[in-house]
Structure 1
Amino acid sequence: MKAYKYLISFLILTISSQTFAQSNPAGVPAKEALQRLIDGNLRFVQGKSQRPNQSIDRLKEVSKKQNPFATIVGCSDSRVPNEIVFDQGLGDLFILRTAGQVSTYASWGSIEFSVAALGVNLIVVLGHSSCGAVNAACKADDVPGHIITLTNAIKPAAEKVKHMDGDFLDNAVKANVAFQVMSLRKLDPIISKQYNKGQLQIVGAVYDLETGKVNFLSEEYIASITK
């Protein structure tokens, strides 16, 4: 009986994997997807937003299926609406937002879904200046309720830059993004496999609340701060 249950579980897992593989579209290459985001943010900053894919025709088109070209793991902050700051439209971005862009099991599953089922080849971890969640982690004060789960997740990054030159909060915001990028790159089994094959790219960026500019973190910075 026990062996039978294991067999059934294996068959369900196999069928599910095949279903995901069959439904996974080719997706936009990571390099092209990143350039779309960079170009869109430049338009936004220059006050030349085109507001693409926001027509009634687009609404009807994406009601049948979605093929987002990038996944954004961002902060819940109301001042950072992802489609607006990247000048994108309906069905363009698969977005997850939590305070301090802290990821947990539900977030990880959602990110995996975007990669395995929707064919996304680019994940952007997007922090922002003056982040309240990061600021709370930097102060190390007691916080009420479940907010502590957010600050506890951010504290390792804050501790890493505590004695660095420059503004503590600015440094912590960047480090927090870098730590989250590295964490996703190692996330088994789906994300790490796709990343290690070179199929999936995972990058970090920080949005400036005052200018609207998205600044992408260099690989050198990510590697050095997460050592």
Structure 2
Amino acid sequence: MIDRLTVQNAVDALLAGNRRFTAGEPEHPNQDAARRAATAPSQSPFAVLFGCADSRLAAEIIFDQGLGDLFVVRTAGHVMGPEVLGSIEYGVSVLGSPLVVVLGHDSCGAVAATRAAIKDGTTAPGYVRDVIERVTPSVLATLAAGFTHDDDFINEHIRHTVDLLLDRSRVVADAVAAGDAAVVGISYRLADGTAQIVTARGLTGTVV
């Protein structure tokens, strides 16, 4: 088992970086020539970040991190397939990242499109349909619970993605069970840039 502070410090580092970003005081750490040279032979990111592919959700910027800090995997609506699961598992089992973050955000186009498809009974063209199909369980669960606010749909989809990751990936689930990793769901607000934890697995400390 790794030191629990390693997991905790990873979460704290992300949230501290986000606070710098929202305050307009980013440090832009690990973005110079020395860091580039240091990370060229190998990488040891402190977090795997699986987020929505939205262009406004650039992980290293909104969490004020640099080269080699984050192992980033992104898809529309943070929907998962085998390639995504394999990438996340690589970050945890090979690179040794103690933290996996599922990052969603308000005004998510994938969630909005899914809500519209369910309401209107429409279908999307091409592989966009596949994205909508994978977001559908989250939207249906939110509706079944009687929630109607946009944030409810976003947060439920983040929670569903965290649950699905732990259900489908034995590598990640075992790492969390052993105390070697944590999985945290975070919701990001586009207008003010703040990031808030929605759900967490394997994280027992106090978030600062």
CA–CA distance in structure 1, aligned partners of residues 18 and 92 of structure 2: 23
For residue 154 of structure 2, what is the aligned residue in structure 1?
A: 173
For residue 6 of structure 1, what is the aligned residue in structure 2?
A: none
Cα deviation, 1:109-159, whole Å, max 9, x if unaligned, reads 010000111001100100010000011111113101011111111111101
For residue 180 of structure 2, what is the aligned residue in structure 1?
A: 199
Q: What is the count of residue pairs matched by the alignment? A: 195
Whether 1:30 and 2:7 are equivalent positions in the alignment is yes
| Aligned residue type for 1:126 | L
Whether 1:216 and 2:197 are equivalent positions in the alignment is yes
For residue 129 of structure 1, what is the aligned residue in structure 2?
A: 106
Specify whether residues 123 and 198 from structure 1 end up closer, same or farther in structure 2 by C-alpha distance, changes over 3 A only: same
Q: What fraction of aligned residue pairs are identical, expressed as a percent?
A: 35
Query: CA offset at residue 102 of structure 1?
Result: 0.6
Query: CA offset at residue 188 of structure 1?
Result: 3.5
| Aligned residue type for 2:27 | Q
CA–CA distance in structure 1, aligned partners of residues 188 and 10 of structure 2: 18
Higher Cα radius of gyration: 1
Matches within 5 A, 1:70-85: 70-85=47-62
CA–CA distance in structure 2, aligned partners of residues 131 and 39 of structure 1: 24
For residue 69 of structure 1, what is the aligned residue in structure 2?
A: 46
CA–CA distance in structure 2, aligned partners of residues 37 and 99 of structure 1: 22
TM (normalized to structure 2)?
0.89
Query: CA offset at residue 189 of structure 1?
Result: 2.7
For residue 204 of structure 2, what is the aligned residue in structure 1?
A: none
- Partner secondary structure for residue 74 of structure 1: strand
The runs of 5 or more residues in structure 2 that have no matched partner are 202-208
CA–CA distance in structure 1, aligned partners of residues 75 and 9 of structure 2: 26
Q: CA RMSD in A?
A: 1.9
For residue 86 of structure 2, what is the aligned residue in structure 1?
A: 109
Whether 1:158 and 2:139 are equivalent positions in the alignment is yes
| Aligned residue type for 1:216 | I
| Aligned residue type for 1:147 | V
CA–CA distance in structure 2, aligned partners of residues 189 and 217 of structure 1: 22
Cα deviation, 1:148-179, whole Å, max 9, x if unaligned, reads 11111111110111253442x32111111100
TM (normalized to structure 1)?
0.81
What is the aligned counterpart of 1:144 among 107, 125, 138? 125
- Partner secondary structure for residue 102 of structure 2: strand
Specify whether residues 54 and 219 from structure 1 end up closer, same or farther in structure 2 by C-alpha distance, changes over 3 A only: closer
Are the equivalent residues in 1 in contact too, given 2:183–2:200 (CA < 8 A)? no
CA–CA distance in structure 1, aligned partners of residues 89 and 107 of structure 2: 29
Query: CA offset at residue 192 of structure 1?
Result: 1.4
| Aligned residue type for 1:72 | L
Query: CA offset at residue 39 of structure 1?
Result: 0.3
Query: CA offset at residue 187 of structure 1?
Result: 2.7
CA–CA distance in structure 2, aligned partners of residues 165 and 142 of structure 1: 23
Query: CA offset at residue 211 of structure 1?
Result: 0.5
